[in-house]
Structure 1
Amino acid sequence: MAAHNWIDLSQDADTGIETLRAHFEGHAYDPHWHDSYLIGVTEQGVQQFNCRRVRHNSVPGQVFLVEPGELHDGDAPTADGFTYHMLYLDPHWLAREVNAVFEEAPQGSQLGFASTLTSDPRLALATSQAFQTLHSGELRIVRQRAMDHLLERLTGQLYWRTRYREDPRLPLVAHKAREYLHSHLHVDVGMDELALACGVDRFRLSRAFKSAFGLPPHAYLVQLRLARARHLLAKGEQPADVAIALGFADQSHLGRWFVRAYGLTPAAYRKRCSNLPDR
């Protein structure tokens, strides 16, 4: 990571919620996704990112909201870069907590964000207060109250939407390929093998997959592995062991992809989440 860029990351012991504050100049992140709900506030500069096939420019005070699995990147279009703070909310935690505020979730539904970028001063304030209390390790009762306040403000941006097992808007071959990659996460899958499993040639498969999910199959598989690596590292597993378990060539291979997606090395991420020393 460039010398002028920095990341300060922590994890709340009670909820598992990660809190992050960072500054970037120039290119920040390659396209990637998380399996958490992201809610954050831009503090300074212009945070430019692509999400939902739209380019967004988040300026100070705006709140950005990204759902699990939504592909996004990050760049600083101005010389002074941008600074932001953000919370990573576990989907199971969020659904459980929101059920106390919303009516019971309709069957076969999942939470969605109504918009990716919003100018809502009260939501921005609630997000910043929740970030500060969790990131600084305030008393438990203070942290819980701040999160309750955030959830109350967040309900205006949340809605229950149908959980598609197979989204009818996307080609069936793309669904088949995605399911195959999820079930072969640890395997060194080749395009010929994937195309054979889907019953099409690899060129047609690549076009359909990228059109549906924004990434070619090989890049999608890397993102799956990186999302799993975050979980294992946060639990305290060693980067070298994680790399082997997830099919990366070695720890350096995992590290290169991890830094491009998250701006931190696997070892640094592990240390900040688990507080465990390296072996």
Structure 2
Amino acid sequence: MATQNWITLKQDAESGIETIRAHFEGHAYDPHWHDSYLVGLTEQGVQQFHCRHVRHQSTSGGVFLLEPGEIHDGDAPMSEGFTYRTLYLEPHWLERELRALFEQAPEHCELSFAATLARDPRLAECTAQAFSALHSEDLRIVRQTTLDNLLGSLTQHLRWRKRINPDPRLPLVAQRARDYLHSHLHQDIGLDDLAQATGVDRFRLTRAFKAAFGLAPHAYLIQLRLARARRLLALGQTPGDVAASLGFSDQSHLGRWFQRAYRMSPADYRKRCSNLPD
């Protein structure tokens, strides 16, 4: 039996915020991450996903909050599926706006969410209103007002986390491997390259990396490239050029991974964000 999955996506030119409304039945998407802060609202059904090594279920009226880099998947445990709205907040935009909102914001800190799920009617209402204003391309003053209301309602769900590098909670070898992947993401990296860069054998490296980040190094590298691909496509670069610049073997290789993570093709994503023809 065919599912009735669908996605609508818009991008606000002024703030760079993406708005996605979608419906999924059964399996929604594979484990992946975004380089944005996600503030979402479950409209209908039960949205089930794994994040922070915990299985979460967001139900109608519930808000879900994800930080950049947090790996999550998605599926619908109920036959009717689930529908949600999500705002993808660019980290620099969010931090700038919130530092203006807080009278005293700590230095050398980054924003984090206190919890992954929130049952907060005010936050849910502000999320829905901001989504509606941006997704419908309402008047600029309306969009800005609803975003200010959203930021105000978010403050009690935020905390400032001190930037620490390296992070003492994670194995140093895993952090070194992650940094190497970030700085060499365009290259054809092998496990032997990572092992040499971190000073351990491939097997110890893989175990430490999976324990720290929830993905094997090769899967992390793919997700890193996909996150970068989203940004380049939104700027109007063609899928072929993006695939070549990020180390994918060809455009179809990028397309297969992009579809698994985001349930749309790179060309479709580019068109929705940039309004450029294929």
Task: Please indicate the TM-score interval, normalised by the length of the shorter structure.
Answer: over 0.9
Paired residue for 1:277?
277
Question: Cα offset for 1:182?
Answer: 0.6
Aligned-pair RMSD on alpha carbons?
0.8
Deviates more, 1:37-46 or 1:161-170: 161-170
1:267 paired to 2:267: yes
User: Do the aligned residues in 1 keep the contact of 2:174 with 2:205 (CA within 8 Å)?
Assistant: yes
1:180 paired to 2:183: no
1:29 paired to 2:29: yes
Give the alignment of 1:1-279 within 5 angstroms: 4-278=4-278
Deviations 1:15-42 (A, max 9, x none): 1100000000011111110010000100
Which residue type is aligned with residue 232 of structure 1? L
CA distance in 1, matches of 2:166, 2:201: 21
Helix, strand or coil at the partner of 2:100: coil
Q: Sequence identity, in percent? A: 70
Helix, strand or coil at the partner of 1:100: helix
Helix, strand or coil at the partner of 1:131: helix
CA distance in 1, matches of 2:30, 2:163: 27
Question: Cα offset for 1:105?
Answer: 2.6
Equivalent residue pairs, number: 277
TM-score using structure 1 length: 0.98
Question: Cα offset for 1:149?
Answer: 0.5
CA distance in 1, matches of 2:30, 2:170: 24
Deviations 1:99-131 (A, max 9, x none): 121134322100000010010001000000000
CA distance in 2, matches of 1:28, 1:234: 22
CA distance in 2, matches of 1:218, 1:196: 16
Which residue type is aligned with residue 237 of structure 1? Q
CA distance in 2, matches of 1:135, 1:54: 31
After TM superposition, where is structure 1 displaced by more than 3 Å over at least 4 residues in a row? none
Question: Cα offset for 1:3?
Answer: 5.2
Question: Cα offset for 1:164?
Answer: 1.8
User: Do the aligned residues in 1 keep the contact of 2:3 with 2:25 (CA within 8 Å)?
Assistant: no
Which runs of 5 or more structure 1 residues have no equivalent in the other structure? none
Helix, strand or coil at the partner of 2:101: coil
TM-score using structure 2 length: 0.98
